[in-house]
Amino acid sequence: MAVGARPSGIGELAAQALPGMPLVAGATLPLAFIALGLAAFAAGSLWIALEPALVLQPHLHPRVAALAHLWLPGFLLSASIGSLYQLMPVALGAPLHARAAALWLHFALHLLGLPPLVLAFARGHFEWVALGGGLLAAGAVILLVAVLGTFRAASRRDAAAWSFPLAAGWLALTVLVGLLLALNRRWPFLSLSSVDLLRAHAHLGVAGFFLTLLQGTAFQLVPMFTVGEVRRPRLVWAGLLGTQAGLAVLAPGLAWHQAAPMLAGAGLLAAGLAGSGIALVATLRTRRKPALDIGLKAFMTGAAAFVPAAAVGGWLALAPPDHPAMLRTISAYGLLLIPGALSLTVLGMLCKVIPFLVWMRAYGPRVGRYPVPAATALTSRRLERAWFATHLAGLVLITAGCALDSALAARLGGLVLAVATGLFLANALGVFAHLRRPRLPAGTGQPLATRSP
């Protein structure tokens, strides 16, 4: 049976329409992926706080590569997979096409693959990098099969729906290229430059998986949480297609170090980003609720951070390779993208997803029987606000420190980012605590039927 498929005998509920999608594996699997991502987030932020000078090192430094992999497949990918497994059936209107055992196998492969991947990068042991990458690649295949099966079973075929199989396909390609890179470092067999292939690998992951997914899910999540409507649907399509075409040209251009496809690909990618951005702003303007909560503010700020990141990326594509600021600018580009655009969008999304999943598990079975708190009441507004402000401050400091080659600003930025992570995790742990000890609103211990309406 597909995970999330409705068990028979649901009672007297009408059968003519699906009343929403049930929780995937009782929400435990998405929460497990998210918890793994948050653990990697904590480790990555602590590492930056303890060794902030690392961000001033060239991006090819082994420990920089280790930190990037702790942050990208460790934190951002884990959290995104957890959210994807829950959100995709909702967005596509079809149960997740995978057995629970297969999804848990994916989690196990991901969990077991990350430590060798990160630790071996730090020590330059590429056979162990290949082993960790191989485990992640096997997990990515499970995800790809689940996504393709669910997409085939669903009828929705707009840009938001297409973003799922496209992102899963790019992810599979990303891990395959990463695996080739690691094997080639240990047993050289490719005629391509490892540095060029590494850049293609990084763009496949960032633009192929994360950006593609965001270009689709943003048009599901933002209207859902603000009760707005998707506007400029042709531009939504154009944005997604621009990114796909751009990456299909950019990645080979980077791998084979060809200037013309690099520039053309970067241009198409930037155009795709602009299209999605314009459509997202138009969609946001249809919202009924004027004030945005912190989760949505962070999500939109992260989406906006793609603009300076793309500008820096454009400069990198045009500047001569021996430009004295090249290495620093590459690092600043990475910071704008990883703790900037990607982390803010993913963390913003988690501000909504974690309370919702925890609420569904802790309070869902009590709805209609006992008064329950709203999902939004599980979080601390003060901690959320403090996290967001601190994360932005840390991001600005560390990126400026890197771009201006200021060790002091980079150190300060690393510490501030670590404080921000602590604030986010404190809030998330407070939400997770409801799973162990649900808290009913004060004075509402009685069943609803015994209370006066």
Q: Are 250 and 266 in contact (CB under 8 A)?
A: yes
Q: Is residue 224 a contact residue for other proteins (CB under 8 A)? A: yes
The residue with tokens 């598990």 is 361
Least distance (Å) from other proteins to the CB of residue 210? 22
Token digits of residue 368 = 């209609």
We find the least distance from the C-beta atom of residue 31 to other proteins, in angstroms, to be 14
Return the H-helix or E-strand segment holding 134: helix 126-153
User: Is residue 448 within the footprint of other proteins (CB under 8 A)?
Assistant: yes
**46 versus 448: smaller Cβ distance to other proteins:** 448
Q: Pick from 110, 227, 213, 232: which is nearest to 168 by CA?
A: 213
Instruction: Give me the least distance between CB of 321 and other proteins, in Å please.
Output: 48
Mask for 20-49, x = binds other proteins (CB under 8 A): xxx---------------------------
Burial code (b: 16+ CB inside 10 Å, e: under 16) for 84-115 equals: bbbbbbbbbbbbbbbebeebbebbebbbbbbe
Amino acid sitting at position 204: L
Pick one of 62, 115, 364, 430: the residue that binds other proteins (CB under 8 A): 364
- Eight-state DSSP code of residue 125: -
* Residues in region 266-305 near other proteins by CB under 8 A: 288-291
CB of 227: closest distance to other proteins in angstroms?
A: 5
**Contacts with other proteins, 370-409, as mask; x by CB under 8 A:** -xxxxxxx--------------------------------
Candidate residues 1, 8, 12, 436; the one interacting with other proteins per rule CB under 8 A: 12
Kindly report the number of other CB atoms within 10 A of residue 324's CB atom: 8
Ordered DSSP codes for 329-391: HHHHHHHIIIIIIIHHHHHHHHHHHHHHHHHHHHTGGGBTTB----GGGGS-HHHHHHHHHHH
Site size toward other proteins (CB under 8 A) is: 46
Choices 16-24, 34-42, 123-131, 412-420; region in contact with other proteins by CB under 8 A:
16-24
Contacts of 379 (CB under 8 A, 6+ apart): 351, 355, 427, 430, 431
Q: Which of 1, 14, 260, 442 binds other proteins (CB under 8 A)?
A: 14
Q: Does 90 bind other proteins (CB under 8 A)?
A: yes
Q: Is position 435 an interface residue for other proteins (rule: CB under 8 A)?
A: no
Instruction: Please identify which residue in the block is written with the tokens 């593609």.
Output: 212
- The residue (of 18 and 407) whose beta carbon lies closer to other proteins is 18
Residues that bind other proteins (CB under 8 A): 6, 11-14, 16-22, 86-87, 90-93, 224-225, 227, 288-291, 356, 359-360, 363-365, 367-369, 371-377, 447-449, 451, 453
